Structure 1
Amino acid sequence: MMTATSPSKLSTPVVAAMIVCLGGIGAAVAQATPDKENGRYALSPVADGVIRLDTRTGAVSTCTNTGTGWACYLLPDERAALDAEIGRLQADNEKLKAELAAREPTVTGKIDEPMPKTDSLKKAEPKVVEGERKIEIPLPSDRDMDRVMSFLEQAWRRLVEMANRMQKDVTGKISGKI
Structure 2
Amino acid sequence: MLCVCGNGAANAEVKSDGENGRFALSPLSDGVIRLDTRTGDVSTCSNSGTGWACYAVPDERAALDAEIGRLQAENEKLKAELLTAREPTVTGKIDEPLPKTDSLKPEPKVESERKIEIPLPSDRDMDRVMSFLEQAWRRLVDVANRMQKDIAGKI
TM-score band, normalised by shorter chain? 0.3 to 0.5
Higher relative contact order (CA 8 A, sep 6+): 2
For the pair shown, which has the larger CA radius of gyration, 1 or 2? 2
TM-score (norm. length: structure 1):
0.38
TM-score (norm. length: structure 2):
0.43
